[in-house]
Amino acid sequence: MAENPPTASAKSELRRELLAARRALSPDARAAAAAALAVTALGLPELAGARTVAAYVSVGGEPGTRALLDALRAAGKRVLLPLLLPDNDLDWAAYEGPGSLAEAAHPGRMRLLEPSGPALGPDAVTEADAVLLPGLAVDGRGMRLGRGGGSYDRVLQRLERAGAHPALVVLLYDEEVVARVPEEPHDHPVQAVATPSGVRRFSS
């Protein structure tokens, strides 16, 4: 769905600012944030009670998810990870541990790591009890700002069409919980954000 020009411009400017802040983080700061994020996210009841969690492998300056993925798997959760399709949609496969990750066949601009097991189909995400979403920011209403590629917009639309209602949780750095995120009619709010310092829930 096309963004209207004022909203597109506001989103692009905010994305530039947030990506610049991520690039400025030191490797030590990123590692510490990833370790803390795993602890806070695991404390979410939505994850504690989930049997299947759709997650993702962090790339670039994103808050690190590798420790969280391994902790979820160690807790007996079935963890689904995305496979990027040529049209930017997402397929899914089970995470079987660090050794099961391989470089994506369609890496685009970033070096993506994906599960090497059999693809389960784009609809596999509808089986998840919780979906962990990447993002760049979230505001006090739970509105999430993504990177703009549209992959997770399709995931959220697929969940809606299927009548699936998993818990939606975005993983961010503390400074990325902001006052206001530009939004459009197709944008979906999340139920919670997990950051290295804690968890915040939003009213539905």
Cβ contacts of residue 106 below 8 Å, gap of 6+?
A: 84, 85, 86
Q: Dmax of the chain from CA atoms?
A: 45
CATH class of the domain at 5-201: alpha beta
| Sign for the pseudo-dihedral over CA of 96, 100, 105, 111 | positive
Beta strand extents in 99-186 (DSSP E only): 101-103, 113-115, 130-133, 137-139, 144-145, 167-171, 177-178
Q: Can you tell me the distance from the alpha carbon of 135 to that of 118, in angstroms, rounded to the nearest whole number?
A: 26
**For position 125, what pLDDT does the model report?**
98
* Amino acid identity for residue 102 in this structure: A
Hey, which residues does 102 pair with through a beta bridge?
114
Structure tokens belonging to residue 193: 């954000």
Report the residue count for the chain.
204
What are the boundaries of each domain within the chain? 5-201
Full pLDDT tens readout for the chain, 204 residues: 444 556 778 888 999 999 999 999 999 999 999 999 999 999 999 899 999 999 999 998 999 999 999 999 999 999 999 999 989 999 999 999 988 898 876 655 556 889 999 999 999 999 999 999 999 999 999 999 988 888 999 999 999 999 999 999 999 999 999 999 988 777 789 999 999 999 999 865
Structure tokens belonging to residue 177: 């919980």
Structure tokens belonging to residue 123: 């609809």
